[in-house]
Amino acid sequence: MTASLADSPLAPVYDRSAITTGIVHMGVGGFHRAHQAMYVDRLMRAGGALDWGICGVGLLPGDARMRDALTSQDHLYSLTLKHRDGRHEPAIIGSIHDYRFAPADREGVLEVMTAPATRIVSLTVTEGGYNIDDATGAFRTDSDGARRDAADPREPTTAFGYIVEALRRRREAGTAPFTVMSCDNLPGNGRVARTAVVSQARMSDPALAEWIDANVSFPNCMVDRITPVTTPADIEEVAAELGVRDAWPVVAEPFVQWVLEDDFPAGRPAFEQVGVQMVDDVVPYELMKLRLLNASHQALAHWGRLLGLEYAHEAAADPEIAAWTRAFLAREARPRLAAVPGIDLDEYVDTLFERFTNAAIADTLARLAFFAPSGMPKFVLPTVRANLEAGGPIRLGTAMCAAWSLGVLGTDERGGAIPVVDDLRPFALAQEDGEETGFIGNAEIFGDLAGDERFRTVYAQELAALREQGARARLRALVARA
């Protein structure tokens, strides 16, 4: 077995000692390492971008594990792409060259964020990590983290507190502001990041908030690559294939996409040279992905879990679930989408199912369902709302909500246990006790939808039909229904 990743034939050949930090990334996980860091590594392998090295930042106590894994192997890690035919495509990524653990090194984090060479601060803090009220779109100023960072802004604890303090220090030093680049999977991620940062600043320094709003760029982007959680089996498999042990490898599907708004006043890497689509308007691509791919993931999760399935590829290969999902996309989601430049939506949907049925990825339905409380309001409910406004069909999207509510109860139709991944059980139990709008009455998720007579009526019909017929029969009936 090779002594280290650096000794592997797959290790980067560029001079990593010459890398300097140009990007600070908050929230280093599997997706960032399979996506943004991979693109930067591509540029470095092509002979450039050594001044765009990535310094990772961990904000949570649990991030100590990532710190230890990366620092133990000079911040190298392996990325293995798993193809549908069983072929594995491994690489060793070297674009992350530093890592700071904020709970133990606050000043170290702020130092690298305020350095003039740092021109981008990027984020993958999950869809729910922006402290935004889904119903109103407003920053939650009453959250513990926001209040703590507003009370003592020079000793931040949250991502947005750190960004605000770093920008304050740069302004005072006369250093140009960095660009804040959200890479999270949510609509208008740049706009949402702006709301979070400016709102956090306004809580302690309204003048700074105005300066940030006027001077800092927050480009929107659309990101895509299925990256399941690394398992112990993955670690052993990678060690056997590479001949070296990686403390925290990443596995992902071959498909990757990044559509990025070209708004970087402080400069950026030449992303367009390595496959990133640099555009003026991300919205059509973003809506395509959120309302087709991510909505499909929710469909697989909620119907599949009711039927006792465990993996996304099992649900995508199930004839009834696949037919239902395609029907939802064709009848309800796609009619509410605008044309997407350069994209054939028929081909895009077919590609989705090729990706979903890649058994080598072994993405779990539990992982997909974990994102439901933050994801359903962004991936599925906007389609329902758009159809309500346009007088279009809502039955399939509403039926998915009903399936979700039954899954939250924790038992599938075979009597098996469904892993509990959220705190919505009280709403589902209220529904079981006869309060038919108990689940959809959760305003944080559904907003005012429970007050819409048409949505409420269809939801009650679908919930009753699902209880009476069971998931598989209901799937068939809904597909057959014109």
pLDDT value at position 127? Answer: 82
The CATH number of the domain covering residues in 283-480: 1.10.1040.10
Per-position b or e across 295-313, b if 16+ CB within 10 A of its CB: bbbbbbbbbbbbbbbebbb
pLDDT value at position 26? Answer: 98
CA distances from 433 to 4, 416, 427 (A): 58, 22, 10
Residue 372 has pLDDT above 80, yes or no: yes
pLDDT value at position 1? Answer: 65
What pTM does this model have? 0.89
Q: Give 90-129 pLDDT, tens digit per residue.
A: 999 999 999 999 999 999 999 999 999 999 999 999 988 9
The amino acid at residue 398 is T
Average pLDDT over residues 182-197: 95
Average pLDDT, the chain: 95
Cα-Cα end-to-end distance for the chain: 60
Banded pLDDT at 426 (limits 50, 70, 90): confident
Average pLDDT over residues 344-360: 96
Listing from the earlier edge strand, what are the strands of the sheet with 250-252?
88-93, 77-82, 250-252
pLDDT value at position 2? Answer: 67
Give the pairing of strands 257-261 and 221-224: antiparallel
Please state, for a pLDDT cut of 90, what percent of the chain lies above it: 89
Residue 221 forms beta bridges with which residues? 260
Banded pLDDT at 186 (limits 50, 70, 90): confident
Average pLDDT over residues 180-187: 94
pLDDT value at position 381? Answer: 97
Banded pLDDT at 428 (limits 50, 70, 90): confident
Residue 423 has pLDDT above 90, yes or no: no
Average pLDDT over residues 276-282: 96
pLDDT value at position 205? Answer: 98
pLDDT value at position 149? Answer: 98
Is residue 159 within 8 A of residue 27, CB to CB? The reply is: yes
pLDDT value at position 184? Answer: 95
CA distances from 342 to 151, 279, 287, 295, 345 (A): 48, 12, 14, 21, 10
> How many other CB atoms are found less than 10 A from the CB of residue 32?
24
Residue 122 forms beta bridges with which residues? 25, 181
- 247 vs 450: which has the higher pLDDT: 247
Q: How far apart are CA 109 and CA 302, in angstroms?
A: 40
Average pLDDT over residues 6-12: 96
Residue 122, classed as helix, strand or coil, is strand
Residue 26 forms beta bridges with which residues? 57, 123
- Which superfamily does 8-279 belong to? NAD(P)-binding Rossmann-like Domain (3.40.50.720)
- 78 vs 135: which has the higher pLDDT: 78
pLDDT value at position 13? Answer: 96
Residue 435 has pLDDT above 70, yes or no: no
Banded pLDDT at 482 (limits 50, 70, 90): low
Q: Give 150-160 pLDDT, tens digit per residue.
A: 999 999 999 99
Average pLDDT over residues 149-173: 98
pLDDT value at position 438? Answer: 83
Q: How far is CA 137 from the centre of its chain?
A: 18
- Selection from 46-50, 416-420, 422-426 with the highest mean pLDDT: 46-50
Residue 251 has pLDDT above 80, yes or no: yes
Residue 191 has pLDDT above 70, yes or no: yes
Question: How is the chain split into domains, by residue range?
Answer: 8-279, 283-480
Average pLDDT over residues 236-242: 95
Average pLDDT over residues 326-352: 95
Q: At what angle do helices 295-306 and 345-356 cross, to 10 degrees?
A: 40
Please state, for a pLDDT cut of 70, what percent of the chain lies above it: 98
Banded pLDDT at 311 (limits 50, 70, 90): very high
Banded pLDDT at 420 (limits 50, 70, 90): confident
